[in-house]
Amino acid sequence: MSKFKSLPVALVTGGAQGIGRAISGALLQQGWQVMIADIDGEAGTECIHLFDSLGKVAFHVVDVAREDQVRELMQVTREKLGPISLLVNNAGLSTPYTGAIEDLDLNVWQRYLDVNLTGVFLCSKHAAADLRATKGSIINLGSTRANQSEPDTEAYAASKGGVLSLNHALAISLAPDVRVNAISPGWIEVGEWQKNSSRYQPFHSNRDHEQHPIGRIGKPDDVAGVVLWLASDLASFITGQNFIVDGGMNRKMLYEED
């Protein structure tokens, strides 16, 4: 029997770049088997080479907005790794700005809802049987933009607001077998966590960092650490909650100066 068969299985959607890549690596380091699901085959293949020495990792290309592809993803995950104990719904369109509402194309609006919200629903739906059996958990990635906005971000904000509502609905429907929680990141710099062909060295001013009460912009590892905690027995009495990871920005009162 493979030494990995007794290890729990985590499925991380959007797990090949950015916050998802950090989550996938952190889970592997903590002894999870990890299925990385991502629409970007180049990024996923790169992750397999990057993480292979950390533990049992697999990759599958998927568009989480397609139910047939999500159903196949679950089947492949079970065949390669085993029943799912943790689902991290991280996949999503990450660019919040879609232009003025008067010019927002219906197809763009719908794509944001399909990927960011319906994708969470479909993955949760098709992983639910495994999660009930393993007494597992779901972690949904929301956003602080579900509660506060900049101009021209309607599609993104609406999709993430839906994720947070779906989060507590799932927590009640899947209780007591499955815990469901959300993480809402603020400003997280992902430039160095992209695939090689898209990676960039970010530059941020002192003001960018200092506007955060904690004194810096967030890193993908900041979110991954909360995932590890929520997935552990230390969080066994927690469900239906949303954890904001933004360096305190949501608590800071801002006034425009003359």
Return the CATH number at 13.
Answer: 3.40.50.720
209-238 confidence digits (pLDDT tens): 999 999 999 999 999 999 999 999 999 999
Mean pLDDT, range 83-87, rounded to an integer: 98
Residue 200 — left, alpha, or beta (φ > 0 → left; ψ -120 to 50 → alpha)? beta
Average pLDDT, the chain: 95
Say what the pLDDT of residue 1 is: 38
Q: Parallel, antiparallel, or unpaired: how do β-strands 84-89 and 57-61 relate?
A: unpaired
104 pLDDT higher than 70: yes
24-49 confidence digits (pLDDT tens): 999 999 999 999 999 999 999 999 99
CB 168 within 8 A of CB 161: no
130 pLDDT higher than 80: yes
In a domain, 4, yes or no: no
In a domain, 200, yes or no: yes
In a domain, 135, yes or no: yes
* 78-82, 161-165, 253-257: least confidently modelled range: 253-257
Mean pLDDT, range 175-179, rounded to an integer: 98
CA distance 152 to 132: 40
Q: For residue 245, what are the β-bridge partners?
A: 185
Q: Which residue has the tokens 């568009």?
A: 63
Range of the domain at 13: 9-251
Q: How many domains does the chain have?
A: 1
187 pLDDT higher than 50: yes
Say what the pLDDT of residue 85 is: 98
Mind telling me the catalytic residues? 156
53-64 confidence digits (pLDDT tens): 999 999 999 999
